[in-house]
Structure 1
Amino acid sequence: MSTISEAIVKDHRELEQYYNEVINSNDHDHQQRFGNQFTWELARHSVGEELVVYPAMEKHMGSKGHDMAESDRSEHHKVKLLLKEFQNMKSSDPKYTYKIKEIWGLLSQHIKEEEQNDLPALEESLKAQPNLSESMATSFGRTKAFVPSRSHPSAGEHPPFETVMGLLTAPVDHVADIFRKFPNQTVSPNPSTK
């Protein structure tokens, strides 16, 4: 059983892998497949953090946690706006790799801050409650199975509005994913297995 930090860091490394697959290839089909995978994972990861991790920061870390969560939500919103543009692009578009690099520029800084500051502080605040971090990791994984797999910046970054919008848009996203190309797959990834 992993901690919430381990689950988040695992997602971060996967996102970096998908990003590298896009920028290090000249094959448009390969880029499209991994660009779709990048979008799929980033959209679900962001909403999972906003529904599970940031409320926990606010609950267990007081005003410091609230400030950290609000800062992270603001960063997420900027990334979601760029992801919304990217997810509608074709890999044959000359700006395709430029756009994912623009996303990664913001995202990599956010990841660094999260891994160096936010997650260690959160884990420290959770120490007093045995298994809470592991329970949050389980909840994070389950949450990602039910959230949208595309960027919807207008849904916001705060529950309950984001939760309601997610429940409305996720089924549409998941059906549309069936028609998108993903790495080594002819149908969309199964959100309940990742």
Structure 2
Amino acid sequence: MGHGGDVIDELVTDHREVEDIFGRIAALPFADKDRKVYADQVTMELVRHSVAEEAYLYPAVREHVPGGDAMADKELEDHAKAEQIMKDLEDCDADDPEFDRLIGMLMNEIRSHVADEEENLFPRLRAACPAEALDELGNKVRMAKKVAPTRPHPSAPDKPPANKLLAPGAGLVDRLRDALTGRGKPD
């Protein structure tokens, strides 16, 4: 994560990376241990992506896009659903039948969310927001992803300023836990 370009280019690149990981999960047989590794990787990427969107993208949508409040609220609802699925998925091993159900739900939720953002929200934001502001938002999103949590925290605040204050601390703790446990890395 961290690719360059304006906020829309950055987030679309994230979307493609997540879809690539989903494809890796789907290509593996039931109970293959790498499915859990990839599920952890996709969770880490999605949480960082979501935190950055909540801190910078959705406030910009509210500010610049006509009807932006309703759009941002819908996206936050999508994030809440996905985050709960990811939280439930954390407790499942690849050989657990619940793993398949949850990863399927997550894929459907994320694919629907991505389609909505790319077909509706992003074009409206690009039309309403100056290019310099989109570039600045891209930089802010990249910085936010570097310090964002890597684990789902469904009860954490999802709107500024509370999310911007709490995310770096949670992110530090999550990254330490990931390093100690080897989460998201193959054996």
- What's the TM-score once normalised by structure 1's chain length? 0.87
Which residue type is aligned with residue 47 of structure 2? Answer: A
User: Which is worse superposed, 91-100 or 32-41?
Assistant: 91-100
- Whether 1:54 aligns to 2:55 is no
Structure 1 stretches of 4+ moved >4 Å: none
- Superposed CA deviations along residues 109-160 of structure 1, whole A, max 9, x for unmatched, are 111010000001001111xx34221221111111001110011010032122
Matched residue, 1:44: 48
Return the offset for 1:49: 0.3
- Superposed CA deviations along residues 13-34 of structure 1, whole A, max 9, x for unmatched, are 1111111211220262321221
- 1 CA distance for matches of 2:143 and 2:152? 19
- Whether 1:101 aligns to 2:104 is yes
Q: Which has the higher contact order (CA 8 A, sep 6+)?
A: 2
- Whether 1:157 aligns to 2:166 is no
Is the CA contact (8 Å cut-off) linking 1:4 and 1:136 kept in structure 2?
yes
**What does 1:45-84 correspond to in 2, within 5 Å?**
45-62=49-66, 64-84=67-87
- 2 CA distance for matches of 1:143 and 1:101? 28
Return the offset for 1:181: 4.0
How many residue pairs get aligned? The number is: 182
Partner SS, residue 28 of structure 2: coil
Is the CA contact (8 Å cut-off) linking 1:84 and 1:152 kept in structure 2?
yes
- 2 CA distance for matches of 1:121 and 1:104? 25
- 2 CA distance for matches of 1:153 and 1:164? 16
Same amino acid, percent of matched pairs = 26
Return the offset for 1:165: 2.9
Return the offset for 1:167: 2.7
Return the offset for 1:162: 1.9
- 1 CA distance for matches of 2:170 and 2:119? 33
Matched residue, 2:21: 18
**What does 1:112-151 correspond to in 2, within 5 Å?**
112-126=115-129, 129-151=130-152
Partner SS, residue 182 of structure 1: coil
Equivalent residue for 1:92, pick from 91, 95, 108 = 95
Is the CA contact (8 Å cut-off) linking 1:22 and 1:97 kept in structure 2?
no
Return the offset for 1:95: 1.6
Partner SS, residue 149 of structure 2: coil
Matched residue, 1:167: 168
Instruction: Indicate the RMSD between aligned Cα atoms, in angstroms.
Output: 1.6
- 2 CA distance for matches of 1:24 and 1:145? 29
- 1 CA distance for matches of 2:178 and 2:75? 27
- 2 CA distance for matches of 1:103 and 1:7? 21
Is the CA contact (8 Å cut-off) linking 1:25 and 1:31 kept in structure 2?
yes
- What's the TM-score once normalised by structure 2's chain length? 0.90
- 2 CA distance for matches of 1:82 and 1:167? 22
